[in-house]
């Protein structure tokens, strides 16, 4: 019997929303930023991790599907 539980791709227990595919959400002195892994693109700081994740998801939608 395993104690492992399946976690939805949207939430990480104790950490809030998961980073969108292709993005890394990082805490900095000014708040939270996302970094696009493909080209190093970076957001302005957001007051919360959840807002940074939402911003990364919006950027992902605006850029369209990955090849």
Query: Rounded to two decimals, what is the model's pTM?
Result: 0.73
Measured at the CA of 36, the angle between CA 55 and CA 44, to 5 degrees, comes to 50
Q: Extract the tokens encoding 53.
A: 């994740």
- Does the pLDDT at position 23 exceed 90? yes
- pLDDT band at residue 6 using 50, 70 and 90 as cut-offs: very low
- 48: alpha, beta or left, given left = phi > 0 and alpha = psi -120 to 50? beta
Per-residue pLDDT, 61 = 95
């Amino acid at each position: 019997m395993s104690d492992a539980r399946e976690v939805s791709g949207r939430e990480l227990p104790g950490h809030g929303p998961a980073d969108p595919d292709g993005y890394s959400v990082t805490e900095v002195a000014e708040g939270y930023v996302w970094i696009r892994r493909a080209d190093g693109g970076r957001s302005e700081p957001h007051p919360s991790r959840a807002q940074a994740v939402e911003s990364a998801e919006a950027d992902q939608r605006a850029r369209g599907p990955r090849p």
